[in-house]
Chains A and B, each alone.
Chain A
Amino acid sequence: MPSTASPDLASSQGSPPAGAAPRRPVSVRSHRDDLAALPAVLNSEWIKLSTVRSHRAIALLTGAIGIFATWATAALVTDEVLVVADVFVYSTFLTAVIAAIASILLFTSEAQHGTLATALTAQPARWLLVVAKTVTALGVGVRLGVLGMVTGFAGGLLGGLELGDTSGMAATAGWALTFTALASVLGLGVGMVVRHSAAAISGLLVWWLVAENLLWAFLPETVSRFLPFYAGGAVLGVEVDTATPETLAVALTRTQDALVFGGFAVIALLAGTVLLYRRDTN
């Protein structure tokens, strides 16, 4: 027969032993407390990001790809006149892939190593963690995007290219950073939904590099222009060899492409946030 709590156990509750320090009252948090905690949560995310070697390895890889892409282009492409002002963003597509993967890991490595549970016990306001990780992911995307373009710029010069007309570089860089930043947020959202590094990364890459290309081949232009990475790539303004007058007629503007791609990133993020609240965390 199970016994209920004995009077001895119940009666000892509430009174600290003699000589113990006086107990502080337990206070209840408010929304203002949550907002005030955001800088601290951001700081924690930065510490987590900057204290693992993978972060530095990813930055090195991005820089290496940036230099190599433009240097190799300069060295191998001889049938047209290339300038640094055009080629410095050539590695942006790969940079965006790397940024997406890095942001997947922002969440999945925490889930797999158990530090997500630690974070959730320290900060029960889960939306704060989502906001902090989103800001961090944006920062990752922008930082890697800048690194890719700076090293791409250097690679072009090393390859002997002329600087060219630089008047459009700022706008081009802005669109490139938009692409890498949104790719990063999309990666975070995918990571939050899938919660497993290998599955999230492989799923994202298979969809990006394989599935969408197949869909693009079979879907009408009026539909395929809304595929996430098709729209995202269009943000870069890269001319596609297979573009037809019909394709160009229904093409979205760069702003619209950014909104489509960003919309998918937001959907992934929202889905991940809902699951973060609903799922139990072990």
Chain B
Amino acid sequence: MITVTALRKTYDTRTAVDDLTFDVAAGRVTGFVGPNGAGKSTTMRMMVGLTRPDRGSVRYDGVPYAALRHPAGVVGSVLDARCMHPGRTARNHLRAMAALSRIPAARVDTVLAEVGLETAADQRAGGFSLGMRQRLALAGALLGDPRVLLLDEPSNGLDPDGIRWLRAYLSDFARRGGSVFVSSHLIGELAMFADDLVVVGAGKLLAAEPVAAITARSAVTVVVQTAVPSQQTELAGHLAGAGLDVEARGSQLLVRHSSREAVSQVAFAQHIAVLELSVTSRSLEDSLLDLTAGSAEFASA
């Protein structure tokens, strides 16, 4: 549905987006993750024509955004939930948007009901909470009944019930054939409903894979503790000799990208008794933090 090809954007001497290429498939939720300053918001602005790329292109079924006949009918975007005049009511905000895209005015009440704002329709947006603004912004994105939703941090300001509602809505949207491209810092939240992930760091693409592939790649670590402490080093040597990735951590050995069966076979063959032989799985968050560790612009100590 969305094809991003060699996208590049530089501000003065800083490259915000560096040769980004990925696809967003129809009928799937694609998460867009990366640390602060990774270029996510810049990329999303380029995807809807607000920022001109220095190089590269973004196409929706082969058509550039600026050439879409009915942009609102193809792409619904929420890049900043604060984009509304505080003195205008929710209904009038959507009326103006609907008029601009030649969408029937009746659609305004429909989308307000969809996002749960029908009772606040005639309140001024200036009095809205952040969560209400997020819902109103989403209503605006839904006005044209688009086939693609582009959302930048949509769960900001939503309470747990709102986040659950949003998650279900986006999943259902994808299930009905739509494409969802959503950026979020809440990796754990994304993992619950994203099918694919595009991971960026320092403007570069780090990964573009199904969620399952990312979690499976570095998920499993076998933890082994020898019955006789002095045999730990001996066992580590045999495991390394078998081509396994071994790390000693205190009284335990951590064997990555392996299995309990493989580790136990090595220990059994060398007649080394083990006290503990367990498996730990890494969360998606851990996997992604490892992936982006070197590219975080502002990292905590």
A residues at B contact (CB < 8 Å): 2-6, 8-10, 12-17, 19-21, 23-30, 33, 37, 40-41, 43-44, 47-48, 51-54, 109-110, 113-115, 117-124, 280-282
**Whole-angstrom distance between the alpha carbons of A120 and B80 in the complex?**
14
The reply to whether B177 and A25 contact each other, CB–CB distance below 8 Å, is no
In the complex, what residues of A have CB within 8 A of residue B27's CB?
A: 12, 15-17, 20
B70 & A27 in contact (Cβ 8 Å cutoff): yes
Report yes or no: B96 in contact with A121, Cβ–Cβ below 8 A: no
Is A2 a contact of B77 with CB atoms below 8 Å?
Answer: no
Report how far A40 CA is from B102 CA in the complex, Å.
Answer: 6
Please report the C-alpha to C-alpha distance between residue A5 and residue B208 in the assembled complex, in whole angstroms. Answer: 5
User: Would you call B21 and A118 a contact (CB within 8 A)?
Assistant: no
Complex Cα spacing A117 to B49, Å: 9
Q: List 25 A-B contacts (CB under 8 A).
A: A2-B204, A5-B21, A8-B210, A9-B22, A13-B24, A14-B1, A16-B26, A20-B176, A21-B177, A24-B147, A26-B68, A29-B70, A37-B102, A48-B85, A48-B96, A113-B82, A114-B80, A117-B50, A118-B83, A119-B100, A121-B49, A121-B77, A122-B100, A124-B68, A280-B51
Is B245 positioned at the interface, with any CB of A under 8 Å from its CB?
Answer: no
> Do A122 and B101 touch (CB < 8 A)?
yes
A280 near B50: Cβ-Cβ < 8 Å: yes
Cα-based distance from A279 to B140 in the complex (angstroms) = 24
A109 touches B50 (CB 8 A): no
Task: Pick the contact of A17: B80, B177, B204 (CB < 8 A).
Answer: B177
Residue contact A23 to B177, C-beta cutoff 8 Å? yes
Partner of B84, one of A2, A14, A115: A115
A5 touches B26 (CB 8 A): no
CB distance from A121 to the nearest CB of B (A): 5
- In the complex, are the beta carbons of B23 and A5 less than 8 A apart? yes
Contact, CB under 8 Å: B177 / A113? no
Are B96 and A27 in contact, CB atoms less than 8 angstroms apart?
no
Q: A9-B210, A13-B1 are in contact. Are A33 and B69 (CB under 8 A)?
A: yes
Chain A CB within 8 A of B241 CB: no
Partner of B99, one of A23, A30, A43: A43
Among B59-67, B183-191, B256-264, B282-290, the one that faces the other chain is B59-67
B82 touches A114 (CB 8 A): yes
**Cβ distance A231 to chain B, nearest Cβ, rounded Å:** 34
Contact between A51 and B206, CB atoms less than 8 A apart: no
Tell me if B97 is interfacial: C-beta within 8 Å of chain A.
yes
A114: chain B residues at CB < 8 Å are 80, 82-84
Give A182 Cβ to nearest chain B Cβ, in Å: 27
Report the Cα distance A52→B89, complex, angstroms.
Answer: 9
**Given A17-B174, A115-B85, A118-B97, 11 other A-B contacts at CB below 8 A?**
A5-B23, A9-B209, A9-B210, A13-B26, A29-B69, A47-B96, A51-B88, A51-B95, A119-B100, A281-B45, A282-B80
Set B21, B88, B97, B196: member contacting A122, Cβ < 8 A: B97
Give the one of A5, A44, A122 with max B CB within 10 A: A122
Residues 162-194 of chain B: 1 if any A CB is under 8 Å from the residue's CB, otherwise 0?
A: 000000000000111100000000000000000
Establish whether residues B60 and A26, one from each chain, have CB atoms under 8 Å apart when the complex forms: yes
Quick one: given A114-B84, A282-B50, are A40 and B100 in contact (CB under 8 Å)?
yes
Contact indicator B87/A54 (Cβ below 8 Å): yes
Q: For B60, list chain A residues within 8 Å (CB).
A: 26
Tell me, yes or no, whether B74 is within 8 Å of chain A by CB: yes
